Amino acid sequence: MRGTSIKTAVLVVILGLSLALPLFLFDRATYADGVALDNPMFRIGIHYEANALATVRLNSSARVEFGLAGTDGTVIPLLADESGGWQIHREAVRLAAGPFGDHAAAAQVLSRWPARSGPAFILRESAGFLVSGGLFATVEQAVQHLPQLAAAGINGVTVRGMLTLVSGSLPSIEAAQAVRERLVSAGLEGRLHFDGAWRIAVGFATDITLIDSLRVALVAAAPELVWESLPGDFRRIHVISQDGRLLFVYANLAGLTLRAASGADFMSVEGRRHRGAFEFTLDQMNRFMVVGLMHVDDYLKGVVPREMPAGWPFEALKAQAVVARTYAYANRNRHAALGFDLCHLSTCCQAYGGVEWEHPNSNRAVDETKGVIALFNGRPASTFYHSDSGGHTENVEHVWTRAIPYLIGVPDPFGALAGSTHARWEQELTQAQMQQIARFNGADVGTVLAVTVESRFPSGRVSTLSITGTAGRMSLMRQQPRLPDGSTGLFALRSTMYTVTSRVAPVVVQSAHATASLPGLQGVQVATAAGVQTLGLAPEHAVRTASVTGTLRSIPSSFVFVGSGWGHGVGMSQWGARGMAELGHSYREILFHYYRGIWLADIPH
């Protein structure tokens, strides 16, 4: 009966807005940060900044097309390969062992290559298989690592430099391949080189003397070509197949990004599978950034099961798919400075896990809501969401700064009805932890004497929290009462829906008539020669009797927070969505409950 009454109340709020509206009812020029809403392609940051890569391992079960992507979206094809696996390296001074007669012998050496001597790979040349490794800036740095290789049983190692001879431009890749074959027959190892035109590059020389002798041999083998010296460039990119062929070298031209696209449903980078294509660029530290180019629904198939358990009710999963899709459109270009739209982290954008996280239930939820997003005033809504509201969602301006009409606090009993694991929680923070949290938030208050809730919002969440210590006092507002602590979880507390008590050693008071135990001395009334007084905050209090004078310490050993909910409390509660779905509500009804005044629109793709 209770569930029925709740459902009826929600339906009254919805006011019949349960049908998605086609986008043509809005102005065609509906944009999200300058990008038309009917553009479903997104750039997802997979490896960047702290998790950028020294080298990239790429795999696909189908042929991969390598090309160059322009800033206008055009793609210049380079070549295709079906070897199934590739490594992408930047140019550097390297060490090389070999040649070996077969791949297996080279693989044995590769397995012994010291990690401290840099990433290594197998390179197949006409003389045999080499093991090449290191990312050295100079020949001298490379030479310093020779003893480490010798200790690993790797001998006969040479240094490969970055000085190269390169031919004039050739009319096509086929012409370049023909020149390379002629050089191989003359005992010279050439490689495809693209810098806006196809060329052949020869040599990994360490000094100009070697370049001069190489030039003589090249003029004899291909007298019709002009060979020019090419200095080293740490930003040139080498693409190598898993069977050891150096497929080509790309000069890393400004405005043209190396791209790989597969005919299969997905490719893997560093062993993790993703849908769509990839782009590879070098950051300022010459480490590889990897960006996935995905249809929004391919992206969502890796997001929805990360953000909500795939075993939850189907209508809740559909609601999650719509808010995640809307969030993507509303936040396109969030990381434009890094060259992509959205990252893969839940603490910044949305948690994205790739193909390994996909589940038939969540994939179906994405497919059955295809194109549906939430709009407000013709633009994608800011569909913030969180795990559990603790019983009432929050006005957005109480958490961040700006009021948004559809992000207002609403009663939310549904999470508790669904048995939320966050309906009640308890967190104890020690005296040392509280002092560290105060310092992290900009104030050293000394020994913490009290943590006090000064005010609450109408939802029941803490509005202002004060921390008082022997050296000062600080106030925390909005999200700060969750106690930011610098941890990977960002906050020490799950939500701001809580009460707090201090844990102090009890004080035993004895009189002629009774004995009592007090939980600390703060606020206790005592009789003195001057009359009845109330004890305030102090680390200790003086006690004087007829026969004894001493002190009682009143420093809390810890602070106990008892609360409910998890997250900022703005927008949709995921546990609440589960509860509503279990009561029979549709995903539209769920969305209209948590985002008051939005419209649902179908984007034509």
The stretch 336-343 carries a mean pLDDT of: 95
pLDDT at 25 over 50: no
- What is the tens place of the pLDDT at every residue in 98-107? 999 999 999 9
Element (H, E) at 560: strand 558-563
Q: Is 394 helix (H, G, I), strand (E, B) or coil?
A: coil
Return the CATH architecture of domain 92-161.
Answer: 2-Layer Sandwich (3.30)
- What is the tens place of the pLDDT at every residue in 273-332? 999 999 999 999 999 999 999 999 999 999 999 999 999 999 999 999 999 999 999 999
What's the sign of the alpha-carbon dihedral 8, 10, 16, 18?
negative
- What is the tens place of the pLDDT at every residue in 370-427? 999 999 998 999 999 999 999 999 999 999 989 999 999 999 999 999 999 999 999 9
pLDDT score, position 23: 47
- What is the tens place of the pLDDT at every residue in 584-598? 999 999 999 999 999
Q: Is 98 helix (H, G, I), strand (E, B) or coil?
A: strand
Amino acid identity of 173? I
Burial profile 330-362: b = 16 or more Cβ within 10 angstroms, e = fewer: bbbebbeebebbbbbeeeebbbbbbbebbeebb
pLDDT at 511 over 70: no
Angle at which helix 208-221 crosses helix 173-185, to 10 degrees, equals 100
Least confident of 3-17, 164-178, 195-209, 537-551: 3-17
Question: Domain boundaries in the chain?
Answer: 1-34+296-422+574-605, 92-161, 425-503+559-563, 507-554
Distance CA 59, CA 262 (A): 10
pLDDT score, position 8: 41
The stretch 489-499 carries a mean pLDDT of: 90
CB-based contacts of 603, cutoff 8 Å, min separation 6: 23, 37, 38, 40, 371, 372, 373
- Select from 457, 451, 462, 452 the least CA-distant residue to 494: 462
pLDDT at 546 over 60: no
pLDDT at 33 over 60: no
Backbone angles phi, psi at 181, to 5 degrees: -65, -40
Distance separating the N- and C-terminal Cα atoms of the chain = 43
Chain centroid to CA 467: how far?
A: 33
pLDDT range class, residue 346, cuts 50, 70, 90:
confident
Distance CA 331, CA 299 (A): 14
pLDDT at 508 over 60: no
pLDDT range class, residue 550, cuts 50, 70, 90:
low
SS3 content of the chain, % helix, strand, coil (to 5): 25, 35, 40
pLDDT range class, residue 26, cuts 50, 70, 90:
very low
pLDDT range class, residue 10, cuts 50, 70, 90:
very low
pLDDT range class, residue 5, cuts 50, 70, 90:
very low
pLDDT at 164 over 90: yes
Is residue 99 reached through a cis peptide bond, with omega within 30 degrees of 0 on the bond before it?
yes
The 10 Å Cβ neighbour count of residue 444 is 11
Both structure tokens of 162: 């970055």
Give me the DSSP letters along 229-246. Answer: EE---TT-EEEEETTS-E
